[in-house]
Chain A
């Protein structure tokens, strides 16, 4: 594999890093005045990168031809699928951010640049086929995310969120790095291929510990129980566009990474980690659902909802089959759309002075004051609860179908029964919006960008989404087979 070929494969990363550096220089030169222009440029770069990665997915790229830098990096269909989600949601977060950040002083010029670098790290995570590439991508993403979470410097909650995210994230990175070192020590290699091939005779205790620590570190990133504690505080405290970014792009990249590590690097040892994932999946579903019941802040509620949803995605991982992986990707795509719709709707909730409204009680009677917004939020809630005919049901359906096909009927039955607990708190939001007397807190109008995003994502998760099931299923299938071909 020559160097030029490798460079061609990493074109999206190159574009992002070069664009990020140029924009950084521009921001240093022009200051916060240029923030708006920088945001627009960053969105354009992200959209451009989506076009760069799309061909790999459509052509079903897989195999060693798409491996760059001696197996450090792979630009296959799976990575493309994840990157489309990552870049798309990063662009969406940038589009909705300025209006929000302007409320708290001017939008800072660093914001779009940090998002670009975070997206770069996330893309690397999705493409990593070496434990060290993995770590570089993860840290690049994490460091940018810590700063993003603390973006509102004058707001105590935002600072707290940033600090908390940083301290716990650093701990998780340490755990992950410890796992990586154990894995390296006991298998003698850091490449996923090598790790997957090495202990075919049986897993040594050291390597098993390596798996456990790596998975624990990754569980923190995807906010799976029992490493979920940071999620509600960070989601609540971080500026809402950043929360949206963390809940969608960050989640997609971390899940993609977890899939690659579990199925590619540790794929042959699936029996060793399946129990861990099953536990994490069921615990996430239950804890996410129970934790959300008492919440009065819609962002905290969405945080618990994301914990809950990660549990369902992990069910697809636990079965360790190509169907499971493809179901995970379908779920992930739908979940990203639901989260985007949910957070855009939350961003559109503003009181008379334009301040953001986050208390669920203040949504009372929203269906009468802002019927369109209430309908969109209700669709998001029913969809998150997985009630047909909304598209969220399809995500749950494919995951459980994969579980049943792989013979994990009990896991599927417990998981789906626990999803009923989750339905309770989603219903609560609908109840407040539709059944209660209007509180008349939410006022004002929203700009067209928010509305366009909300309409696009809501239509996607509405029953119309079912028309896309074939297309989405095929793409996810191609992406998942790329993962299993390599293993």
Chain B
């Protein structure tokens, strides 16, 4: 492993940018923010290029004991690598999306976003329990400010709800973390991932972590902060919220709950399945009746995240890989969909679906991209959505056919609400003169849409690029989970295999044997 601290550098670049932005006036702040995020993206590409697939599990590790009680330890495996890539890929797009739509207090806005980027990368790169917690919690502050200062009309309510909901979930996790560090005698995440806690204790620890990750994810009964936060946040805030922040919940399950508490995870798998099934059906139905575009996509996020949790708790390689792919794909697709909403919101300043219509006539190129992302959200083969959903539902099918059946309705309902949305916005008559007069995409919007569209297609056509880095890590996780794997509910029995020819005649008692 090279001694170059590339992860620290990736944390530092946006942080320095953030401090600089605070002092700069609007246009300079935009430029600095874009530069910082692009540099970070370039570093991310370097990171991926130098990531040794099949090499050591933890790469680019750094460790400095500068604090009492915990250390500054960074390092990534394939799972973290992909999520970091997602973060650094979406950030320049977010800055681009805010280029014109944010007019007031631009410097502070850009600073908040760059700080957010540092913290997101920190969450995925942290190898120390407490360092992870600090990054995980600290993300609340910039997001609270982003929603509260630059959000919509009801932004204050939404920002409070976001902050307090997530905080309440996380503090309980902190107590569990302290307990774990105390019992295991280390705060090192890789060591803890191999540490066997007493199954009785695991139950409590799992529940404490669940409090935090279920809120972050968000899972069904505690998802209500998400639609509010999404609707009120500025476009780029929604992109980052849906694209990356929700993934922290899934990452938490895959990094903490599953490997550290395998028995408890198996014990609570039915709970996860139940909540996820409820989420898939209920939130999809709610999405179907929304009048507000952002709210519709927010509810669809909850439904997609439910498929992630289904796959994660399937306890097999397909389920886990599928979940990771759904997370990555959803990060791109929901981010892109929020951008699509943002594009027309910037022009007409409303998110009411009924105010639009027939956009494919005056904005054909916009309609093309919107269609691509709609299809990806539905999970059309050839787009990123298909691979992940197919794999995770396939994984679930090996555990429980019923759960898989209910989970699959999410795809059907997803097609229903997304196509319905698309029809109302892009097709039909041009009911509203002002909507009909909107210009098509400009260069800036092209530059945001094209990379997202390409990434969605790439992941759909050749998912191997994304599965390869994490294959070994998923396999290791699967091996770790093997001892707690729940039994398959299907009553399949392997028969003897009927020999050809005359022997069928002798076995008259078997079903279908009589003529």
Contacts and interface: CB of A to CB of B under 8 A. Distances in A.
Q: Do A and B come from one complex?
A: yes
Contact of B175 (A382, A413, A434, A472): A413
Interface string B113-147: 00000000000000000100111011011001100
Interface in A404-441: 404-405, 409, 412-413, 416-417, 419-420, 423-424, 427, 430-431, 434-435
Contacts of B68: 469-470, 472-474
A435 B155 contact: yes
A387 B141 contact: yes
B172 interface: yes
B428 to A, nearest CB: 39
A293 to B, nearest CB: 12
Contacts of A469: 67-69
A185 interface: no
Given A388-B138, A469-B69, A400 B164 contact: no
B174 A416 contact: yes
B69 A401 contact: yes
Nearest to B133: A388
Interface residues of B, number: 33
Contacts of B174: 397, 400, 416
A404 B178 contact: yes
Contacts of B175: 400, 404, 409, 412-413, 416
Interface string A57-85: 00000000000000000000000000000
B179 A424 contact: no
B475 interface: no
Contacts of A367: 108
Contacts of A417: 168, 171-172
Contacts of A387: 137-138, 140-141, 167
B177 to A, nearest CB: 9
B502 to A, nearest CB: 71
A388 B167 contact: no
B149 interface: yes
A465 to B, nearest CB: 10
B458 interface: no
Interface string B169-188: 00110110011001000000
A435 B156 contact: yes
A393 interface: yes
B433 interface: no
A201 interface: no
Contacts of B182: 401, 404-405
Contacts of A178: none
A389 B138 contact: yes
Contact of B134 (A389, A398, A424, A430): A389
A206 B155 CA distance: 58
B66 interface: yes
B160 interface: yes
B163 interface: yes
A435 B148 contact: yes
Contact of B148 (A416, A434, A470): A434
Nearest to B150: A435
B62 to A, nearest CB: 16
A404 B172 CA distance: 12
Nearest to B155: A435
Nearest to A470: B68
B144 A427 contact: yes
Interface string B257-289: 000000000000000000000000000000000
Contacts of A405: 178, 182
A363 B175 CA distance: 35
Contacts of B69: 397-398, 401, 469, 473
B185 to A, nearest CB: 11
A435 B138 CA distance: 19
A474 B160 CA distance: 37
Contacts of B178: 397, 400-401, 404-405, 412
A427 B144 CA distance: 9
Nearest to A420: B168
Contacts of A401: 69, 178, 182
Nearest to B180: A404
Most chain A CB neighbours (cut-off 10 Å) among B167, B171, B172, B182: B171
Nearest to A386: B171
B149 A404 contact: no
A382 B145 CA distance: 12
A21 B174 CA distance: 51
A273 interface: no
Contacts of A467: 66-67
Contacts of A427: 144, 160, 163-164
Interface string A187-202: 0000000000000000
A230 interface: no
Contact of A420 (B108, B133, B138, B171): B171
Contacts of A472: 68
Given A382-B141, A413-B172, A431 B156 contact: yes
Interface of A: 367-368, 382, 387-389, 393, 397-398, 400-401, 404-405, 409, 412-413, 416-417, 419-420, 423-424, 427, 430-431, 434-435, 466-467, 469-470, 472-474
7 contacts: A387-B137, A400-B175, A401-B69, A420-B171, A431-B159, A435-B156, A470-B66
Interface of B: 66-69, 105, 108, 130, 133-135, 137-138, 140-141, 144-145, 148-149, 155-156, 159-160, 163-164, 167-168, 171-172, 174-175, 178-179, 182
